[in-house]
């Protein structure tokens, strides 16, 4: 019996294989994004700075 992680990896491998086949046959093209596309699809919420860890309370 496989674990959920192994099933996910198998699905991912299958999808990647399909993509490789499509690239080889020419039905899928991979290209770099243009500057206009990069600006249009930029992340809307930039990543936040990591929080500082909370101070622990002294024991009572």
pTM here? 0.55
Residues above pLDDT 70, as percent of the chain: 100
Residues above pLDDT 90, as percent of the chain: 65
Q: What is the DSSP string of 38-60?
A: HHHT--SSPPPPPPPPPPPPPP-
> Which pLDDT value is given to residue 51?
82
pLDDT in tens, 19-48: 999 999 999 999 999 999 999 998 888 777
């Amino acid at each position: 019996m496989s674990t959920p992680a192994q099933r996910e990896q198998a699905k991912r491998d299958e999808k990647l294989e399909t993509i490789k086949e499509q690239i080889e046959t020419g039905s899928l093209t991979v290209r770099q994004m243009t500057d206009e596309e990069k600006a249009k699809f930029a992340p809307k919420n930039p990543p936040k700075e990591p929080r500082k860890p909370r101070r622990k309370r002294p024991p009572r």
